[in-house]
Structure 1
Amino acid sequence: MITRRRSTSMVAVWLSRLPSLAEALGRDHPPARDEASFATALGELINARDRSEVWLALSVLTGRFPGESLVLETARSSEIDPRALFQAVRRETTRESAAWKVVVESEKTLVDVADTSTSTLATGIQRVVREVAKRWAAIETVRFTGWTKDWQSLRDLEASEIARVERGIPRAEHEGDAIADVVVVPWRTTYILLEVSAEPPRSERIRALARFSGCRTAALCYDLIPVTSSETASPGMTGVFAHYMAALKYFDRISTISQATAVEYRGWREMLPAAGLPGPDIVPVLLPASVGDSDEAALDAARERLVIGRMPLILVVGSHEPRKNHLAILQAAEILWREGHSFSLSFIGSRSWRGDEYHDRLRQLQDQGRPVESITRASDTLLWAAYRLARFTVFPSLNEGFGLPAAESLAVGTPVITSEFGSTAEIAADGGAILVDPRDDDDLTSAMRTLLTREDVLDRLRSEAKRRPRTSWDQYSRDLWNAML
């Protein structure tokens, strides 16, 4: 009895969704009133030889986006057994997905900001997404989306999530999970992924979407570090990233945040013809070097918090993962302190994977009385002021997609010591920086010594930094939109 009631309820759900499916295909839907007639109507409506129609039918009727293998398996079975599609729909529909409202979007551009709209973090990627999204919010044809629980399907965002993305406010620690109310199925429109998909189930469904939905697909890509510098990535990230790349190979366009990252992605694309795929177009759109203003009150507060007496402040911005090379900075600082140089050293950035050695070394130096500290969850107000108060900043990363801390330091006229290759060398090309080999501790120590002792060099770099061309998030967001479409 319970099974029959549940079956009757499911049939009612499928019947209610059938008109949307037919409308998306531009066809009249055959009449259906019960399970048997629904199965017949579905067989008449969908061309099983067209994989895109099978993808659409599974997405709309179940409320859950299918993976690539499910689409292919269902399409092949349906060519032999006309009831196979109905059986897949019945099998894949859950009580949870049956309760969702499903809409097909064929006009607006869907912009996927799932992580950014729900996360408690404020990483560099999420900062880029928030800066872009709050500007794209003014575009009438944009529809922001997240994902349902367990990455089953795209959904409309809650009002609080939209406000969070647009205003750039991270999610509160104890805020409840959003409830998926409206599942959004993209069909022959545009889908843009603004962030990295770090969840294999999400990547699997995005891959099928890119291959079968008939949508124009575009992604903003930040780096290939889990591939090119896997030894510095978090445990398991290389495998997770491979799922993400498997989805990107079906995309139409990728926009990278630097020329250096474009070179990496073009190298990856050159491998795809071996799999019979052309790969996406790759268009670099460089991130802006832009920071907020600091009034006197903000500077005074930051000075009180960061500056020790007359000591010059050296600033390091970035998460404490091995790739950022913070152990090399601590080594250089200790050598310079032992030489008798007076300065304080402040790290601003979040804790990260494999950071225990850095934190242990930091505590050792603090126990010895060295003027060094590590600040997590710093406000933008403090960060912008810190850039301006620092004598110079240090960013000797081993691999970067762009290197926002180097660009932001130079944007306020503060010289930076950074790596001599890749995107950081690209940023430094307009002046204001000393380039070093980040794998050579002596080279890094020498550069820091120079900027501590040579006022003439420091003044020259400051002048170069102030003459650099100015860029903005407004312009970047416009350029990125044009590159994605």
Structure 2
Amino acid sequence: MNRVFYWCGLTVTQPFNTGIQRVTRCLAAELQKRGTEIIPIKWNARKNGVSIISGKEAEIFAAYSGPNISLPDRLPMNLKGEWMIVPEVIVPMVVPGSNPVRWANDQGMKTAAIFYDLIPLKTATDLHAKHLELFAEYWRMFAEADLVLPISKESESDMVWWLGHNGHHIPEVKTVYLAGELPGIPRSAKSKKESETFNLVSVGSIEPRKNHVAVIRAVLDAREQTGVDIRLTIIGRTIRDAYPELHVLVDNLMAKSNGAITLRESVGDEEMNDILSDADATVFGSWLEGFGLPVLESLWRGLPCICHNGSSIGEIAPGGGTVMVDMTAQDRITDAIIELATSPDQLEELTAEASRRHVKTWAEYADDVANALEIEKIDHTPFYFMMTDYLLRRNL
């Protein structure tokens, strides 16, 4: 695989690094390190067609350990047989012709797309019907791909169900689990500290399924039951326009904590590192994910993580360093926090497990994606040609 055309139109407009943007940037950077030329492309509304990203957009793409790319002047005239990868969520996708997979198919290209989740459908009460239809248009795109790379077995089963349920073609599928590496941050083992404060960190945007209300209430209950100075720092983007009542509730609960619970919204890498370097553990309250990057990223830092025991998190969390509980049951979250805050030996053991445990790197993820594309070429070889080759080699 000498080069791939890489759809990154959303990421190059966003100078921040959510989970999907991290996947998009890190996969491109690691494919590039493997010797693959990355041709970054997007839908250009002004030209009403596909084009190479601009120089300014390439700078945004290169941020957060993304690839440094020398942009070609123009797209090749003949794209037949080339690979295109779609690593992003593309919503909305309503401009005629802006479906990247359909465009690539029209050029005779081969297409691979990463499938994340059906969360908008599973939490449909949080979305207006017209927004859900925008996601449906995006999900239909996967029926036209040559190869789909779900990020977990749960996301794979969700995609296959949705396409089949709606009468669409089900393409070739190969699940490729994401990496948990934090580029630029070496694996670390937390040293035992002498402190009367137990510091928790929760990473995630303020939205219903991230479950911040239950986590905050669990921290307040644990403080009251133990008398331990348990503190929680939430690092996440607020979405007040979409969830005004939720944000009012979170604000009120934080106010009741007398400073024990704080929210940090705009946090750079250096500040994030400072906050987490002082943490004893993390808590990821989400009960519904396509993968659950914050769990593995916590382990990468050598921090134990309290997390859900179901959804896709139930696939990636086992293996050491995690306390898995039912995140829909607030009392279970409280019990887990109390256990870590009052049991130094248990905390030390989990910290050691987190530090020893293998966490997949983005280089390994890129290898898996590249191998999946190569496997796809073999799998799509017609049976007739496979048998002909076999008979020729046997001189039959």
Tell me if both proteins adopt one fold, taking TM over 0.5 as the criterion: yes
Q: Partners of 2:44 and 2:174 in 1: how far apart? A: 30
CA contact (8 A) 2:299 2:359 kept: no
Over 3 Å counting, the alpha-carbon distance change for 1:417 and 1:143 in structure 2 is same
**Aligned residues of 1:153 and 1:184 also touching (Cα < 8 A):** no
Matched, 1:223 2:111: no
- Of the three residues 59, 72, 82, the one matched with 1:163 is 59
Cα distance in 2 for partners of 1:311, 1:235 equals 46
- From 212, 219, 222, the counterpart of 1:333: 219
Alignment match, 2:382: none
Residue 116 of structure 1: CA displacement?
Answer: 0.6
- 1:249–1:280 Cα contact (<8 Å) kept: yes
Decide which moves more: 112-121 or 400-409. Answer: 112-121
Counterpart check, 1:195 vs 2:88: yes
Say which SS state the counterpart of residue 146 (structure 1) adopts: strand
Distance 1:134 1:205 in 2: 25
Larger radius of gyration: 1
Task: Tell me the residue number matched to 1:20.
Answer: none
Distance in 2, matches of 1:450 and 1:458, equals: 8
2:232 match: secondary structure: strand
1:399-441 CA distance string (max 9 Å, x none): 1111111111112221111111122122211111111111111
- How far did residue 224 of structure 1 move? 1.5
Secondary structure at the residue paired with 1:286? coil
Residue 85 (structure 1) aligns with = none
- Give deviations 1:59-89, integer Å, cap 9, x for gaps: xxxxxxxxxxxxxxxxxxxxxxxxxxxxxxx
1:320 Cα shift? 0.8
Q: 1:22-33 residue pairs with structure 2 within 5 A?
A: none
Specify whether residues 470 and 122 from structure 1 end up closer, same or farther in structure 2 by C-alpha distance, changes over 3 A only.
Answer: closer
172, 180, 186: which one pairs with 1:281? Answer: 172
Q: Supply the distance in 1 between the matched residues of 2:96 and 2:358 (Cα, whole angstroms).
A: 38
Distance across 1 between alignment mates of 2:330 and 2:232: 17
- Where structure 2 has 5 or more consecutive residues not aligned to the other structure, the ranges are 67-72, 375-396
1:98-113, aligned counterparts within 5 Å?
109-113=4-8
Asked if the contact 1:156/1:184 (under 8 Å) is kept, the reply is no
Match of 1:414 in 2: 303
What corresponds to 2:229 in structure 1?
Answer: 342
Distance of 1:329 and 1:151 partners within structure 2: 47
Tell me what 2:26 maps to: 131
Q: Tell me what 2:156 maps to.
A: 262
Q: Cα distance, 1:461 vs. partner?
A: 1.5
Deviation of the 1:198 alpha carbon: 0.5
**Cα deviations across residues 230-259 of structure 1 (Å, max 9, x unaligned)?**
234577432211010121111111112223
Deviation of the 1:163 alpha carbon: 2.9
The structure-2 alpha-carbon separation of the partners of 1:234 and 1:287, relative to structure 1 and needing over 3 Å to count, comes to farther
Taking structure 1 as the reference length, the TM-score comes to 0.67
Say if 1:140 and 1:416 are closer, same or farther in 2 by CA, change over 3 A: closer
Partner of residue 290, structure 1:
181
**2:130 maps to 1:239:** no
After superposition, what is the alpha-carbon deviation per residue over 1:364-403, rounded to whole angstroms, capped at 9, x for unaligned?
Answer: 2443324111111212233234334211111121211111
Q: Could you tell me how far 1:184 is from its partner in structure 2?
A: 6.8
CA contact (8 A) 2:84 2:109 kept: yes
Q: 1:426 to 1:482 in 2, by over 3 A?
A: same
Tell me which residue corresponds to 2:386.
none
CA distance in structure 1 between the partners assigned to 2:95 and 2:78 by the alignment:
15
CA distance in 1, matches of 2:334, 2:359: 30
* Post-superposition offset of 1:229: 2.8
Change (3 A) 1:461 1:233: farther
Runs of 4+ in 1 over 6 A off after TM superposition: 183-186
Q: Residues 226, 435 of structure 1: CA spacing in aligned structure 2 closer, same or farther, 3 A cutoff?
A: same
Counterpart amino acid of residue 238 in structure 2? R
Distance 1:482 1:424, change over 3 A: same
- Measured after TM superposition, the shift of residue 211 of structure 1 is 5.0
CA distance in 2, matches of 1:444, 1:236: 35
Deviates more, 1:254-263 or 1:189-198: 254-263
User: Which of 239, 245, 248 is equivalent to 1:360?
Assistant: 248
1:3-402 aligned at under 5 Å gives the runs: 109-138=4-33, 139-149=35-45, 152-168=48-64, 187-188=79-80, 189-202=82-95, 205-206=98-99, 208-209=102-103, 212-232=106-126, 236-271=130-165, 274-275=167-168, 277=169, 279-292=170-183, 310-339=196-225, 340-352=227-239, 354-368=242-256, 369-402=258-291
Query: 1:100 corresponds to which residue?
Result: none
